[in-house]
A and B are shown apart, each in its own frame.
Chain A
Amino acid sequence: MATDLAKRLLEGDRWALTRVLTHVENGYTQGLDELRDLYPRSGRAHVVGITGPTGSGKSTLTGALAREYRKRGSTVGIVAVDPTSPFSHGAILGDRIRMQDLTADPEVFIRSMATRGAMGGLAATTGDVVTVLDAAGKDVVLVETVGAGQDEIDIADTAHTTVVINVPGAGDDMQALKAGILEIADILVVNKADHPAADSVFKQLHIFTDLQRQEGWDVPILRTVAHKEQGITELFDALQHHREYLSESGRLEEMRRHRARRQLLAVAQKMLLERAMGASGGERVEELVDAIAAHKLDPHTAADRLISAG
């Protein structure tokens, strides 16, 4: 083990855990070293994504679900993502308010993150933060996205199981026909199910799942009233079933390889670009930018020259 903090983290030191999370969240060099030490210890946790529109009850449901996991003796990590202001670049991270009673439990670790400009519903380093909590021995990591509209679907590439929350009164059956967030659901939840309009959402979602089937997995549609803890046991059971389905069907292995490839290529792309920029410096970039803008050189040839120079 090359890094002291990673070693202490694995021994259960929560101060080391919080510092490593900070290093990783901010992309520090030492964070990368720590991640190198911790990655081989990750891969055990069930990573569950919780997404849905603003005000649909994601935080309340995440809190209720965490309590259910604790009742069954599982340890829990929670990553709660809130948006960064596009103007001030500040953020209010308020998801913890709905999970206050969990703060006293040493087996629950909640970390808030701001999106810092990322558009997919998560922050750029949310995946690495999940890896660290996983390596720290959390049995389940719940990842709560920002309030999602139709297209914030990065969570499906981070979680093993994605729960999409719907609420009554948010549009007609046309919404269920559109592409996007409903398609990434492994489990659909109608929260605030004690609302009179809940039945119609429930029916629309049934029409949606009838039209769009996942091979080998029937997407369940569950009713919850998160603040009264109703329907949480059923959600917990559905999550367990999905986890079993993933490992028994071979989907989990497939998912791992698919993500490994995507991560490798994404990081390699970033590194290549950094190296090309580093070797030739900003000046070379500006020269090429000038040439493209003046229509003397096309962007493809220019990019080829930039990379070859590196």
Chain B
Amino acid sequence: MAEERKLKVIIAKPGLDGHDRGAKVVARALRDAGFEVVYTGIRQTPEMIAETALQEDADVIGLSILSGAHLELFPRVVDELKKRGMDDVVLFGGGIIPKDDIPQLEKLGFKGIFGPGSSTLDIIEWVKQNAPQRAA
């Protein structure tokens, strides 16, 4: 049997903004690139996102946020993931995120941040390059 694993990506919207066009476009683009994509819907708490990642055994999580609460919510998602032993998940983010905030998010583990105007091809390429080659 083939031991090659399909990668599972979770696209989630933390916080209270209800604009998920971007998240849906990214989810669809990743689907078209051959990933299995779980879209959580809007208004997710950090606990809900981490719990979804656990139940789905996610390889990658992309957080989309437009409300400006990323410095508040992204670290809480990371904490909740750690609590559940999901510390090998690759993280990226998107939405309205000021340049000055990016170093702080990178330190948290968000190595890819995609703002307005990002190309879906760049996001796909980034996910392909950074997705974990987990042993199992």
- A contact set with B: CB distance below 8 Å: 14-15, 18-19, 21-23, 26-30, 84-85, 88-94, 96-97, 100, 103-104, 109-112, 114, 116
Q: How far is B1's CA from A29's CA once the two chains are assembled, in angstroms? A: 8
Which chain A residue has the least Cβ–Cβ distance from B7? A90
B33 located at the interface, meaning its Cβ lies under 8 Å from any Cβ of chain A in the complex: yes
B30 located at the interface, meaning its Cβ lies under 8 Å from any Cβ of chain A in the complex: yes
Can you list 20 contacts pairing A with B, beta carbon distance less than 8 Å? Answer: A18-B55, A21-B57, A26-B6, A27-B1, A90-B30, A90-B36, A90-B37, A91-B31, A91-B37, A92-B39, A93-B37, A93-B56, A94-B38, A94-B39, A97-B41, A100-B40, A100-B41, A103-B52, A104-B48, A104-B51
B47 located at the interface, meaning its Cβ lies under 8 Å from any Cβ of chain A in the complex: yes
What 1/0 flags go to B23-41 for Cβ under 8 Å of A? 0000110111111111111
* Docked complex: B57-81 residues within 8 A CB-CB of A: 57
Chain A residues with Cβ below 8 Å from B32 are 85, 88, 90
Q: Looking at the complex, which one of A30, A91, A92, A109 makes contact with B55 (CB distance below 8 Å)?
A: A109
Known: A18-B54, A85-B31, A104-B51. A93 touches B38 (CB 8 A): yes
Q: How far is B6's CA from A114's CA once the two chains are assembled, in angstroms? A: 10
Which chain A residue has the least Cβ–Cβ distance from B50? A103
Main secondary structure of the interface of A (DSSP, over half): mixed
B3 located at the interface, meaning its Cβ lies under 8 Å from any Cβ of chain A in the complex: yes
Max chain A Cβ within 10 angstroms of own Cβ: one of B2, B44, B47, B51: B51
B116 located at the interface, meaning its Cβ lies under 8 Å from any Cβ of chain A in the complex: no
Q: How many A-B residue pairs have CB under 8 A?
A: 90
B98 located at the interface, meaning its Cβ lies under 8 Å from any Cβ of chain A in the complex: no
Q: Looking at the complex, which one of B5, B33, B55 makes contact with A110 (CB distance below 8 Å)?
A: B55
Q: Looking at the complex, which one of B37, B47, B52 makes contact with A92 (CB distance below 8 Å)?
A: B37
Please state if B47 and A104 are interface contacts (CB–CB under 8 Å). yes
Q: How far is B34's CA from A90's CA once the two chains are assembled, in angstroms? A: 4
* Docked complex: B72-100 residues within 8 A CB-CB of A: 84-86
Chain A residues with Cβ below 8 Å from B27 are 92
B residues contacting the other copy or chain, number (CB 8 A): 32
Which chain B residue has the least Cβ–Cβ distance from A97? B41
Chain B residues with Cβ below 8 Å from A97 are 39-41
Chain A residues with Cβ below 8 Å from B84 are 14-15
CB distance from B13 to the nearest CB of A (A): 11
CB distance from A7 to the nearest CB of B (A): 16
Known: A26-B5, A91-B31, A104-B48. A112 touches B38 (CB 8 A): yes
Which chain A residue has the least Cβ–Cβ distance from B58? A18
CB distance from B31 to the nearest CB of A (A): 4
Please state if B51 and A103 are interface contacts (CB–CB under 8 Å). yes
Please state if A116 and B55 are interface contacts (CB–CB under 8 Å). no
CB distance from A94 to the nearest CB of B (A): 5
CB distance from B55 to the nearest CB of A (A): 5
Q: How far is B2's CA from A84's CA once the two chains are assembled, in angstroms? A: 17
Chain A residues with Cβ below 8 Å from B37 are 90-93
Max chain B Cβ within 10 angstroms of own Cβ: one of A15, A30, A112: A112
CB distance from A13 to the nearest CB of B (A): 9
Which 6 residue pairs spanning A and B have beta carbons closest together?
A90-B31, A97-B41, A15-B85, A27-B1, A18-B57, A22-B57
Q: How far is B127's CA from A90's CA once the two chains are assembled, in angstroms? A: 14
Chain A residues with Cβ below 8 Å from B44 are 100
Please state if A103 and B48 are interface contacts (CB–CB under 8 Å). yes
Chain B residues with Cβ below 8 Å from A116 are 6
CB distance from A238 to the nearest CB of B (A): 28
CB distance from A77 to the nearest CB of B (A): 10
